[in-house]
Structure 1
Amino acid sequence: MSNLTKSIPADERKMLRKVFWRSFTLYAAVSPAKQGASGFCYSLMPFINKFYKEDEEGKKAALTRSMSYFNTTIPLSTFIMGLAASMEKENSERKDFDTNSINAVKSSLMGPLAGIGDSIFWGVLRVIAAGIAVGLGSAGNVLAPIIFLVLFNVPSLLIKYYGTFLGYKLGSEYIQKIYASGLINILTKAASTVGLIMVGGMTASMVTFQSTFEWKMSGKSILNLQSMLDQIFVGIVPLGLTLLCYYLLKKKNISITVLIIGVIVLSILLSLLGIA
């Protein structure tokens, strides 16, 4: 047993192992609006059930928090789970705990860890493992596929396992310190800002609109809709559509399913009309 796991009480170590095994279901039920939220919530349930055993309203609130959007590289996901578990523990013990900080910290870590994780595990480790396996396979070694799986999965699983304990350990140590120093409000605001930046970046890269409408007279183009929109504000349509969906979702309580169907229908109509 490593020093990292030794320093955590036995009952909490047991729950952290449950979090690790449950984390394999992270993307078992993915939705466009939540991604791995259901898997994240399921993974944290051992802690939520224990810490809020006598507080039904607190348990409901914790489960609701855990069902917020979650998406990051799988081997590093358990670090955030461990951190969230430690914050839920602190929340169950402190009446002055800012519950907004839990999702703020979670959201702020998803993007950076996804960038680091994708680069390391998909960009480096997978390529190295595949290079070794391909070399063995071309030489006629029948164990080449197994070697690839071992080289890629063993480091990933080790980081995923110990990341659970590391996130929990760091969380339990530093959350008390930042509360004592009064930095929790600054941390929450900074984490919320980083989370909003990540959402803004996702909007800019994932929501696209390219108009094909062009008005011509005497064979000359006198109006190019896309060019005109870009002169006003580059990405104005994706931004406007995102803000409209957010307004309908939050203010008008329109379901995400209706919004997705609406966007699909609108896209088909714009295509048929030759606008986009």
Structure 2
Amino acid sequence: MTQESITKNTKISPTDKKLLRKLYLRSLTIGAPLQYANEYGSGFEYSILPFIDHYYKNGSEEKRQALKRHIVFYNITQYVGTFCQGLVASMEKQASQHEDYDVSSISAVKASLMGPMSGIGDTLFWGILRVIAAGVAMTFGMQGNVLAPFVFLLIYNIPAQWCRWEMTKLGFTVGSEYITEMYSSGLLTIFTKAARTLGLIMLGGMTSSLVQFKTKLVFHVGGGQVINVQNILDSLLKGLVPLLITLGCYWLIAKKHVNFTVVILGLIVFCILISALGIA
């Protein structure tokens, strides 16, 4: 039996559904054993351990090799990373049942998914969903509504956890054949680029609506004329100062590697200072 036919015949049995639920629950703790040596490698192995324990005999060389395969470096955005975990679990099951299965393909597929899936996951969840959830929650917060933090948690976590579970099942049923097809057809690359573009559009929209600056500076000149600095700034480019502030923060964090907390504290001090001086 070839690897292709094995993959096509993969079905979710009641036993596998039970194991998938365990994988999903364990994936919630994938970041707990984070370390620089292998990033989320330990958490990944802990997540798929129910499959390895079930399908490999205790004390066997095959099980030892399976455990060794997954203690190495791993890093994918957790909400879509369960696709990789489900896929690897499916491949490990096939490897345990067929002696001629090419186990090197398991590590190869796992490694090849890290870059593109992280690009998709980071864009969709860190770049889009988190910003949207925070924006909606801040609207409630500015109105003094105590539900603001709960709104954020619900808007973010409901789709995030739904995606985590669905990606777990999808990864298990898809099999390695379809991953190869997506790469060869260029579909995965197109989807990644589209997600990144959408993320940039959403970030631009959220920046223009949430980062605000209006100066109070006015200059009185002869003849009773008044120069309004804010009107001059708006005539140059609407939202010029918020754009410069956003780009400045990006430059400090991405280019100068200034700590995120330091940037936040600097913004707080800056806002207090210009407010005390009557500039804004």
Q: TM class, shorter-chain normalised?
A: 0.5 to 0.7
Bigger Rg, structure 1 or 2: 2
Match of residue 56 from structure 1: 60
User: Does 2:82 match 1:78?
Assistant: yes
| Segments ≥4 residues shifted beyond 6 Å | none
Secondary structure of the corresponding residue to residue 126 of structure 1:
helix
2:156 to 122, 140, 152: 152
* 1:144 positional shift: 0.5
Which position in structure 2 is the counterpart of 1:140?
144
| Aligned residue in 2 for 1:39 | 43
* Cα deviation code 1:64-98 (max 9, x no counterpart): 00111100101011100000001101111111111
Q: SS in structure 1 opposite 2:72?
A: coil
Which residue of the partner structure matches residue 29 of structure 1?
A: 33
How do 1:217-256 and structure 2 match up within 5 A? none
* Counterpart check, 1:13 vs 2:12: no
Q: Deviations over 1:185-231 (max 9, x none)?
A: x99xxxxxxxxxxxxxxxxxxxxxxxxxxxxxxxxxxxxxxxxxxxx
How many matched pairs? Answer: 173
TM-score by length of 1: 0.59
TM-score by length of 2: 0.59
Q: CA deviation at 1:121?
A: 0.4
Percent of paired sites with the same residue? 46
1:162 aligns with 2:166: yes
2:118 counterpart of 1:114: yes
CA–CA separation in structure 2 for the residues paired with 1:93 and 1:26: 27
Superposed CA RMSD: 2.2
